[in-house]
Amino acid sequence: MSDVFIIGIGIHPFGRTPQLSGMEQGVVAAQAALADAGLSWKDVQYAFGGSSSAGNADTMVNRLGLTGLPFINVANGCATGGSALLGAYMALRSGQADVAMAVGFDKHEHGAFVVNPSEWGLGNWYGEAGFALTTQFFALKLKRYMHEFGITNDALVRVAVKAYANGALNPNAWRRRALDYEEIAQSPMLNDPLRKYMFCSPAEGAVALVLANAAAVRRFGGKPIVLRAASIRTRNFGSFEVFSPSLALQRAASPTVMASRAAYEMAAVGPEDVDVVQLQDTESGAEIMHMAENGFCRDGDQEALLRDGATAIGGHLPINTDGGCLANGEPIGASGLRQVHELCLQLRGAAGARQVPKPPRIGYSHVYGAPGVSAVTILGALS
């Protein structure tokens, strides 16, 4: 039996924590995950972890314990957490370990990310001319999407209203004040059509997960959630991605579409089977586009779904129940694992005030980031 289970979850609250480094927040999350699983660090046989701006994850062994375990540093942009999880998943599936950890943390300075074009295979001219901003990409993709599929500004506001309302119910979220419709709709324009409160902000936080195979679950017990699929995909020729000086004339399926299809196939489920969803919401339009790219609706149906509250916690397609990136901020190394942490809480029925009312059986998470990488996981409650 090669099933993989998540048996422990830990989080350091997202937001701003001036007294702790990003890595120290990672240690807090790792120790919380171990405590949740009822294990100690010496039980962990393999670890994968990373951050974008807060140092080498394997250095955490100074604090967690020098046990000699293999610890792989992961640096894969917005898919860092998802990649760490995939590494742990493969270590367990391949029989390299019975218990593994995936950990992600980060700590970013205020304001938009600083991009060095040469790190992304681009000439310096790209940054000098004012193109090296991820926020522009989301606005450009969204403007085209709205034109093609009839999405309006109203839908953008509704995504943000929902995010902050959910964040207000989440003790680990950064933005814990619900914002009303007008406050969002009147906030300053940053990249037309996207306004200030429709964007997430770079921030801080950490999440760790303890994973185990069936033998270890029998030995340690705990509260296992089945990791039914974990997939990562990069760009196809013709997809429209961040930091593209040019695009082909014909569009191709995005990394999200490809990662999503692969994950559904691995898990042997379809979008209609999913009960609770976490999607990359770098800005409110991203959540809208990703609803369709992950198979949860047809292009253009988002407008009505949002107006009807379908994606709220009490709706039939609850999305970003913990407030998503909009309410939690974006610590790059931690965001993907935050989504999985939230799904585990939801599937355990332990999400408190933001618990999805109908007990969920299948959870779905998705991240997307530069330069065009997407990671998807599908989780299941034990039957």
Partner 1 sequence: MVSFPRQASCPRCCGSAIALRRLGNTGHLWTWTTQEFAPKSPPYAVTRKPGDFVAFQLGYIELPGEVIVESRIVAGDSALRIGMPMELIFAPLFTDSNGDEVVCFAFKPMGQRV
* Cα 131 from Cα 137, distance rounded (Å): 9
Q: Which of 94, 250 has the CB closer to partner 1?
A: 250
Residue 186 sits in the site that holds partner 1 (CB under 8 A) = no
172-257-103 Cα angle (round to 5): 35
Q: Which of 19, 246 has the CB closer to partner 1?
A: 246
Tell which residue, 189, 182, 170, has the closest CA to residue 328: 170
Binding mask 234-263 for partner 1 (x = CB under 8 A): ---xx-----xxxxxx--------------
Candidate residues 20, 59, 61, 141; the one interacting with partner 1 per rule CB under 8 A? 141
Residue 215 sits in the site that holds partner 1 (CB under 8 A) = no
Candidate residues 65, 70, 123, 270; the one interacting with partner 1 per rule CB under 8 A? 123
Residue 372 sits in the site that holds partner 1 (CB under 8 A) = no
Residue 149 sits in the site that holds partner 1 (CB under 8 A) = no
* Cα 97 from Cα 112, distance rounded (Å): 39
- Number of Cβ within 10 Å of residue 63's Cβ equals 15
Amino acid identity for residue 293 in this structure: E
Span near partner 1 by CB under 8 A; candidates 8-16, 122-130, 263-271, 350-358: 122-130
Q: Are strands 46-50 and 99-107 parallel, antiparallel or unpaired?
A: parallel
Q: Which of 223, 235 has the CB closer to partner 1?
A: 235
CA dihedral of 100, 85, 74, 206, whole degrees rounded to 10: -90
Instruction: Restricting to residues 33-62, name those near partner 1 by CB under 8 A.
Output: none
* Cα 270 from Cα 274, distance rounded (Å): 7
Tokens of 328: 């939690």
306-312 contact pairs (CB < 8 A, 24+) = 306/154, 306/155, 306/158, 306/159, 306/162, 307/154, 307/155, 307/158, 311/159, 311/162, 312/162, 312/165
Candidate residues 111, 182, 357, 383; the one interacting with partner 1 per rule CB under 8 A? 111
Cα 360 to chain centroid, rounded: 19
Span near partner 1 by CB under 8 A; candidates 119-127, 172-180, 301-309, 342-350: 119-127
Distances from the Cα of 272 to the Cαs of 23, 163, 255, 267, in angstroms? 38, 23, 21, 13
Q: Which residues contact 317 (CB under 8 A, 6 or more apart)?
A: 277, 296, 297, 305, 310, 311
Residue 350 sits in the site that holds partner 1 (CB under 8 A) = no
Span near partner 1 by CB under 8 A; candidates 34-42, 76-84, 88-96, 139-147: 139-147
Q: Which of 68, 121 has the CB closer to partner 1?
A: 121
Candidate residues 190, 198, 208, 242; the one interacting with partner 1 per rule CB under 8 A? 190
Candidate residues 63, 93, 143, 348; the one interacting with partner 1 per rule CB under 8 A? 143
Residue 110 sits in the site that holds partner 1 (CB under 8 A) = no
Residue 189 sits in the site that holds partner 1 (CB under 8 A) = yes
Tell which residue, 217, 226, 288, 295, has the closest CA to residue 257: 295
Residue 136 sits in the site that holds partner 1 (CB under 8 A) = yes
Q: Which of 36, 241 has the CB closer to partner 1?
A: 241
Say how many residues touch partner 1, by CB under 8 A.
39
The CB-of-190 to partner 1 minimum distance in angstroms stands at 5
Distances from the Cα of 328 to the Cαs of 51, 133, 277, 336, in angstroms? 16, 21, 16, 12
Span near partner 1 by CB under 8 A; candidates 5-13, 110-118, 253-261, 339-347: 110-118
Residue 116 sits in the site that holds partner 1 (CB under 8 A) = yes
* 332-348 vs 80-93: helix crossing angle, rounded to 10: 60
Report the interface residues with partner 1, using CB under 8 A. 111-112, 114-117, 123-133, 136, 139-141, 143-144, 147, 188-194, 237-238, 244-249
